[in-house]
Amino acid sequence: MTKKLFWEDPYLTTIETVVESVFDDLVTLRETIFYVFSGGQESDTGTIGGYPVLESRKSGLDLQYILAAGHELKRGDSVLVKIDWERRYRLMRLHFAAELILELVYRELGQVKKIGAHIAPDKARIDFHWPQNISSLFPRLTSQAQALVDQDMEIISACSDESSQKRYWEVPGFARIPCGGTHLKRTGEVGNIMLKRKNIGKGKERIEVYAAAK
Ligand SMILES: [Zn+2]
List pLDDT tens digits, range 39-67. 899 999 999 999 999 999 999 889 999 99
pLDDT at position 162, please? 86
Give dist(CA 159, CA 169) in Å, integer.
9
Closest CA to 182 of 81, 79, 44, 48: 44
What's the mean pLDDT in 6-35?
97
User: How close is the Cα of 170 to the center of ligand 1, in Å?
Assistant: 10
What is the distance in A from the centroid of ligand 1 to the CA of 36? 13
Q: Indicate whether 200 pLDDT > 90.
A: no
| Cα within 13 Å of Cα(52), Cβ side | 4
The string over 19-44, giving b where at least 16 C-beta atoms fall within 10 Å of a residue's C-beta and e elsewhere, is bbebeebebbbebbbbbbeeebbbbb
Q: Dihedral of CA 105/208/155/63: which sign?
A: positive
Tell me which residues have their CB within 5 A of the ion that is ligand 1. Answer: 99, 179, 181
Query: Distance from the CA of 189 to the center of ligand 1, in angstroms?
Result: 15
Whole-number Å distance, alpha carbon 104 to ligand 1 midpoint, is 14
Burial call 94-104: b when 16+ CB within 10 Å, e when fewer = bbbbbbbbbbb
pLDDT given at position 1? 85
Tell me what the pLDDT averaged over the chain comes to. Answer: 96
Q: How far apart are CA 135 and CA 140, in angstroms?
A: 10
Of 210 and 163, the structure prediction assigns the larger pLDDT to: 210
Q: What is the Å distance from ligand 1's center to 157 Cα? A: 10
Ligand 1 centroid distance, CA of 41 (Å)? 8
What is the CA(178)–ligand 1 centre distance, in A?
A: 7
So what's the pLDDT on residue 199?
A: 84
Q: Rounded to the nearest whole angstrom, what is the distance from the C-alpha of residue 20 to the centroid of ligand 1? A: 28
pTM: 0.95
pLDDT-based confidence at 120, cuts 50/70/90?
Answer: very high
Q: What's the pLDDT score for residue 92? A: 98
Average pLDDT of 20-35? 97
* pLDDT tens profile 79-116: 999 999 999 999 999 999 999 999 999 999 998 999 99
Task: With cut-offs at 50, 70 and 90, classify the pLDDT of residue 77.
Answer: very high
**How far, in Å, from the CA of 101 to the mean position of ligand 1?**
11
Kindly report which listed range (36-40, 120-124, 153-157) carries the lowest average pLDDT score. 36-40
Question: How far apart are the CA of 54 and the centre of ligand 1, in A?
Answer: 24
Q: Give the other-Cβ count within 10 Å of 204's Cβ.
A: 16
